[in-house]
Amino acid sequence: MALQLRPNCEYCDKDLPPSATDAWICSYECTFCTDCVENKLHNVCPNCGGGFERRPIRPATERRPGVCVTKQLPSDKRVHLKYSVEDVAAHCARLQDIPPQER
């Protein structure tokens, strides 16, 4: 099953197309931009508490049958945080000093 490749940062709503090199995801595919991950979330997913990894780029060219961005389409559903900015800040502050692998 392919990643959803969500189209936006869930915090600031910045567009993150499939080729974006500044998209980050957690293990649940929550998606955020570099600026939010580094400066607002401090590598803490506000939804699950996990850490982030760079989101891979889905190939634009079909080099194997059926495997490319036009054959496995990214999601067009924009996702936004369900928590307030204040709640996110408090959650991230509680967890930011714990390494992701220990959360």
pLDDT tens figures, 37-92: 999 999 999 999 999 999 999 999 999 999 999 999 999 999 999 999 999 999 99
Residue 86, C-beta contacts closer than 8 angstroms, at least 6 positions apart? none
Q: Which one-letter DSSP state was computed for residue 75? A: P
Distance CA 1, CA 38 (A): 29
Distance CA 40, CA 35 (A): 7
* pTM > 0.95: no
Please report where in the chains the tokens 């955020």 appear, as a residue.
32
